[in-house]
Structure 1
Amino acid sequence: GYEVIVTADHGQTDRGHHGGHDDDMQDFALYYFGQGKGPEADTLLDQLQLAPTVLARLGVPVPATMKAKPFLD
């Protein structure tokens, strides 16, 4: 089988601004297709969970410095 994760590292405002602390700038898109069990559709995820999730799905050890937990089982 295969898995596909499509995401972005940040969102942006209607004017294209990004990198700030506004909700529009910190929200991100996420689409997952695969066998892993993910959270419910309305679950709020943190950007810090993206890297540990990708590493875990690839079978790569997640460094201890990454404190956020993967969101796919």
Structure 2
Amino acid sequence: MDLSTYNYSSMTANTAAFHFVPGCEGKNFSKKMRCKKESKIIKAIIDNAVNNDDPIKLGITLHAYADTFSHQGFFRDLK
């Protein structure tokens, strides 16, 4: 394990976006950024991964999909 990847820059650039896929619904920014299970955006990402014929990409995408259920309603403010 490389602990140098556990830093604020890495977290805000990669980890938060991967684990808290925005639902892209609502009237204001914070509502649009909330995780929503089975949102249109995650379904589009899954469709892309399925059609890409890359099992690693599909596995990563399915992890993000599962996170939409476990992090439903959560909004990660990156400020």
Given the two structures, how large is their TM-score scaled by the length of structure 2? 0.27
More strand by share: 1
More helix by share: 2
Q: Which has the higher contact order (CA 8 A, sep 6+)?
A: 2
